[in-house]
Amino acid sequence: MSYAADVNVCLDRILESTDLSGLTKKDATLFTKRLEAHFPSLFEKYTYVYGHQYDCYYHLQKLVETLRDGIKKRKPALKKLDENRLKSPLWYRDENQVGLACYVDLMGPTLNDLHKRIPYYKALGVTYLHLMPLYDAPAGDSDGGYAVSDYRKVNPILGTTEDLEKLADALLKEGINLVLDFVFNHTSDEHRWAKAALEGERQYQNYYYMYDDRTIPDQYEQTLREIFPQVRRGSFTFNEQMQKWVWTTFNSFQWDLNYSNPEVFNAITSEMLFLANIGSAALRLDALAFIWKEMGTNCENQEKAHVLIQAFTCCLEIAAPAVVFKSEAIVHPDEVNKYIGSEECKLSYNPLLMALLWNSLATRKTRLLTRSMQKSFPIADDCTWVNYVRCHDDIGWTFDDNVAQELGINGHDHRFFLNQFFTGRFEGSFANGVPFAENPSNGDCRVCGSLASLCGLESALQNGDSKGVEEAVSRMLLLYGITFSIGGIPLLYSSDEIAKLNDYSYRDDETKQHDDRWVNRIAVTPEDISLAMGEVNRELSQQEEASVNVFNGLQRMLEIRKNNAVFGKAKTFILEASNQHCFAFLRENEHGEKLLVLSNFSEYPQQVDGEILTTLGRNPGEDLLSNMHFKGDESVITLRPFQQLWIKGA
């Protein structure tokens, strides 16, 4: 019997014994149709990972029931959205898209308060709102919400699940998509599965990785990387109550889920569909690189991690096709790209661009940025980057050492330099960053800090250096300007859009002081918002003025982006700028529209050979940012310090 026939027989059998009587006739038809289309692929992935287990088909049957329940609970409005998205699936490549990531408590403080912030989101043109993890979590330290105790319950401090659904509806009416975290590599040690495990229930102990002694943990640890070495060495935590070692890649209270157990896959799928059914347009796959463990490897980016994510994608396609995955793989660039694809994650953070934008600010050079983007920026046409400059985490220097080597840069030494530079230890540095996760064994570290503080605003204000303030503002606009124009969804990180400085108050908070990432998790108050929206009529301080200038600058650029299709579905070609301080790329869409972006990363004027204008064809047009016109016969183009040009072909 052929393989295809096998799958069909399997589906027929499953359907025979699946009760669809709880579904409306329409839903039952829809469900069967979608299963016919996507079950073969789901079957292939699922049996690839679990096929050797005697009860694989039992779990597959259960999974189909979970998907059925997902469809059953999906609201009519979301089913309508499914239909529309299936008709025009590439919404995320639109020039209209602008993202914002924020913490509910730091901008609310509750979900209900966020309704009042919608005008602010609209002023920035936000269409994609990522609310940082808002689920029930342990009191005190919960890794900023990334230790989830209940996926179906909103943290009571922030509101209720009904509040969240109401907000999702209100946002959708304003054309803003809600994006939620799917923290599926681990749960908190207070999740009901963990609690049952603590009570000694074998079934739930098998939801996690648990060992009676150090034999196996020691073997694994020979090849594992330590993620938070400043708080806890190694990747396992001894639990007194169970007398077992538990796998905890991150903090001791975050227990890694055991995906070699199909029951875990099914259970978490049910949680995932709950989040999809709240009305989220995209799910951020937190720490997805870690979900599969393989002895003798670093247990990151394993093949079966990919297969599992593909299986989850099949589940979405069957039960909630409007929802797409966003990959959060902050790993080697080649590995980042492997998560991107229509069968896996349609969206992905772009950590390489992020890290190298900072690198170019520090070195004033663009060779590594140019070479790396030439190699890694191209991805499938039906997928997109989410381009960001800062986020709630630290900055890790995730460039490819081989690419650096080709340019004569030693990766290890260069990372050391970048850490020194951004923590302000390097003489002449403008940055006020804070070291994070310093590894006592090898001296490795990463860097935290707000956009403004890392761009030099903090030190310039302290020194009363107005030129420094101006430069800091220009740096911020330069970095964001590239994320707005290079191709993908630009993602603002809330509080950076108004250039807020590092917030050191976490050092007085016992639950936060050990985790320096809190320095860049900063409140945006109603006063900040009034200031940004131009509602404050008094003389502004130097800092307030910088804040307004950044906000206005970003707003203007985003407006231009929205009004020019070439920022949306268009190819990106990374060019050689003929000046080591400048970065250049060309966008071109299927209608022949072109845009040439030129950026100067140094504090001195720089010239680029006018030849580059020929990439725009015969009639180079005007710079959309300054309205300066180009004839095309210019022998050089001069850029002011930190200037960026968006030259649109005529």
Site residues (CB under 6 A) for ligand OTU, limited to 288-307? 289
Nearer to ligand OTU, 444 or 623 (CB): 444
Q: Are 151 and 121 in contact (CB under 8 A)?
A: no
The secondary structure of 6-66 as a DSSP string is: HHHHHHHHHHHTS--TTS-HHHHHHHHHHHHHHHHHHHHHHHHHHTTSTTHHHHHHHHHHH
Alpha-carbon dihedral angle through residues 394, 395, 397, 400, given to the nearest 10 degrees: 100
> Does the footprint of ligand OTU cover residue 393 (CB under 6 A)?
yes
328 is catalytic: yes
Nearer to ligand OTU, 70 or 351 (CB): 351
| 135 strand-pairing partners | 154
Pick the closer one to ligand OTU by CB: 182 or 585.
182
Among 40-48, 258-266, 392-400, 619-627, the segment contacting ligand OTU (CB under 6 A): 392-400
In the complex, the smallest distance separating the C-beta of residue 253 from ligand OTU, rounded to whole angstroms, is 11
**Binding residue for ligand OTU (CB under 6 A) from 11, 154, 194, 287?**
287
Question: Least Å distance between CB 289 and ligand OTU?
Answer: 5
**Residue 543 Cα distances to 123, 323, 612, 644, angstroms:** 21, 40, 38, 23
Considering the complex, what minimum distance in angstroms separates the CB of residue 183 from ligand OTU?
6
As measured in angstroms, the least distance from the Cβ of 106 to ligand OTU is: 14
Q: How far is the CB of 286 from ligand OTU (least distance, A)?
A: 5
Q: Which of 82, 181, 286, 458 is catalytic?
A: 286
Task: Report residue 191 CA to chain centroid gap.
Answer: 24
Residue 214: alpha-carbon gap to chain centroid: 35
- 148: three-class secondary structure by DSSP: coil
* Amino acid found at 219: Q
- The verdict on whether 590 is a catalytic residue reads no
Scanning 79-87, 138-146, 309-317, 362-370 for contacts with ligand OTU by CB under 6 A, the matching segment is 138-146
x/- map, 518-547, ligand OTU, by CB under 6 A: ------------------------------
Provide the minimum distance between the beta carbon of 382 and ligand OTU in the complex, in angstroms, as a whole number: 23
Helices (H) and strands (E) in the chain, counts: 23, 24
Strands 594-600 and 644-649: what pairing? antiparallel
Per CB under 6 A, 146 contacts ligand OTU: yes
Among the listed residues 89, 144, 229, 610, the single contact to ligand OTU using CB under 6 A: 144
Q: In this structure, are residues 382 and 420 in contact, taking their beta carbons and an 8 Å threshold?
A: no
Nearest to 516 by CA among 459, 438, 422, 458: 438
Q: Which is nearer to ligand OTU, 449 or 568 (CB)?
A: 449
The interface mask with ligand OTU, positions 236-275, x = CB under 6 A, is: --------------x-------------------------
The letter for the amino acid at 13 is: R
Rounded to the nearest 10°, the torsion over CA 430, 434, 437, 443 is 50
Q: Which is nearer to ligand OTU, 144 or 229 (CB)?
A: 144
Q: Write down the least CB distance from residue 167 to ligand OTU, Å.
A: 22
Count interface residues toward ligand OTU (CB under 6 A).
Answer: 16
Q: Does 622 bind ligand OTU (CB under 6 A)?
A: no
How many CB atoms sit inside 10 A of residue 642's CB? 25
Identify the residue among 82, 143, 400, 458 touching ligand OTU (CB under 6 A).
Answer: 143
Full DSSP string of 168-224: HHHHHHTT-EEEEEE--SEEETTSHHHHHHHTT-HHHHTTB-EESSSHHHHHHHTTP
Q: Are 478 and 644 in contact (CB under 8 A)?
A: yes
Q: Among 178, 273, 331, 454, which residue interacts with ligand OTU (rule: CB under 6 A)? A: 331
- What distance in Å separates the CA atoms of residue 21 and residue 234, rounded to the nearest whole number? 50
User: Which of the following is catalytic: 328, 394, 515, 588?
Assistant: 328
Binders in 152-191 for ligand OTU, by CB under 6 A: 183
The widest CA-to-CA distance across the chain, in whole angstroms, is 81
Nearest approach in angstroms of CB 226 to ligand OTU is: 11
Residue 336 is a binding residue for ligand OTU (CB under 6 A) = no
What distance in Å separates the CA atoms of residue 515 and residue 522, rounded to the nearest whole number?
14
Question: Is position 515 an interface residue for ligand OTU (rule: CB under 6 A)?
Answer: no
Residues carrying an active site annotation: 286, 328
Binding residues vs ligand OTU (CB under 6 A): 143-144, 146, 183, 227, 250, 286-287, 289, 328-331, 392-394
